[in-house]
Amino acid sequence: MPDKFKDRIAAYTARVDSGLERALPAADTSPMRLHDAMRYSVFNGGKRVRPLLVYAAGECLRVEPRLLDAPAVAIELIHAFSLVHDDLPAMDNDDLRRGKPTVHKQYDEATAILAADALQPLAFSVLAKLDGAPSGAPIQLVQLITDACGSTGMTGGQSIDLDAEGKTLTAEELEHMYLLKTGALIHASILSACLLTENLPTADFDALNSFGRDIGIAFQIKDDILDVVGDTDVIGKPAGSDESLNKATYPALFGIEASRDRCDELLARALGSLARFGDSAAPLQWLAQFIVERGR
């Protein structure tokens, strides 16, 4: 294995892609249009940041990659589901995602809703098949990921986000929304590796817990910044769409400079949380830096 995490990304991406391939029904399985749409939503150029966080947190805690495959695949399936719903006319009404037509544009609205509906149970089916994990870990993973998806996680965050359009939120309210809408799944990616570690010291759990929260909020602030300063061709979705939807975002409420400063502050705090792990945290450090510095 190459010794720099950056050079292991292709191998980890291939690993999660083959797990996704195994989990998803073939496109020629009936009902074919539904399965084709599910596959389109998953194999469509995503960066795979959440699975990479699962594997990087696993490297930090020395968890075997074969145990991390199930949460990595399950979380990416949930992420794909959330993007399909997020793009629907009833939500952000986007035509472009990852530089390609969104699922409801490529197929139709009903197929997009059904494809997302089917991705969610598939994620939990993958978790149910996890073998060889410490006793109790599979059910704890299910609990972790259901909480991250539910009304006090991603779905709740999306509800607050839709409700906040055209409103002024405090920085605290905004970050609470980000922690739920985007942060919950990123945080769960980190905690998945914790649940697969036997006898993890509380101080190690607390440090990774803080890291996951900070980096999840920073991810959404960076996403907001890219929506303002990015090019549609690079970010793969229409630049400026937050402004046209009158979204409550960090740049809209506090400006670009304050948004960059807040991202840097969160990154510094997240990196500080990793200090106790020494060199084994290098992959998480690399990903945290990537999240804040990425161009798409």
Please give the C-alpha separations between residue 45 and each of 101, 145, 261, 296, in angstroms, as whole numbers.
Answer: 12, 23, 29, 11
- Does position 220 bind ligand GRG by CB under 6 A? yes
Nearer to ligand GRG, 47 or 260 (CB): 47
The span from the CA of 248 to the CA of 242, in Å, is: 8
Q: Which of 69, 175, 223, 242 binds ligand GRG (CB under 6 A)?
A: 223
- Does position 104 bind ligand GRG by CB under 6 A? no
Name the residue among 49, 91, 95, 89 with its Cα closest to residue 72: 49
- Does position 98 bind ligand GRG by CB under 6 A? yes
**And the tokens for 220?**
């959404």
Which residues in 174-193 contact ligand GRG (CB under 6 A)?
181-182
Q: Which range of residues in 20-28, 154-162, 187-195, 269-277 is near ligand GRG by CB under 6 A?
A: 154-162
- Does position 269 bind ligand GRG by CB under 6 A? no
Q: Which of 85, 104, 213, 262 binds ligand GRG (CB under 6 A)?
A: 85
Nearer to ligand GRG, 98 or 176 (CB): 98
Q: Which range of residues in 33-41, 152-160, 239-247, 248-256 is near ligand GRG by CB under 6 A?
A: 152-160
Which residues in 45-84 contact ligand GRG (CB under 6 A)?
46-47, 49, 78, 81-83
Q: Which residues contact 98 (CB under 8 A, 6 or more apart)?
A: 44, 45, 46, 236, 237
The span from the CA of 55 to the CA of 191, in Å, is: 11
Q: What is the smallest separation between the CB atom of 157 and ligand GRG, expressed in angstroms?
A: 7
Nearer to ligand GRG, 69 or 223 (CB): 223
Nearer to ligand GRG, 117 or 204 (CB): 117
Q: What is the smallest separation between the CB atom of 149 and ligand GRG, expressed in angstroms?
A: 4
Nearer to ligand GRG, 58 or 153 (CB): 153
Tell me the per-residue interface mask from 13 to 52 with ligand GRG, x by CB under 6 A, - otherwise: ---------------------------------xx-x---
Name the residue among 246, 227, 247 with its Cα closest to residue 238: 227
Q: Which residues contact 32 (CB under 8 A, 6 or more apart)?
A: none
Nearer to ligand GRG, 15 or 197 (CB): 15
- Does position 155 bind ligand GRG by CB under 6 A? yes
- Does position 146 bind ligand GRG by CB under 6 A? no
In this structure, what are the phi and psi dihedrals at residue 84, rounded to the nearest 5 degrees? -60, -45
For residues 150-182, one letter each, b for 16 or more C-beta atoms within 10 angstroms of the residue's C-beta and e for the rest, the string is eeebbbbbbebbeebeeeebeeeebbbbbbbbb
Nearer to ligand GRG, 77 or 195 (CB): 77
- Which residues here bind ligand GRG, judged by CB under 6 A? 46-47, 49, 78, 81-83, 85-86, 91, 98, 149, 154-155, 158, 181-182, 220, 223
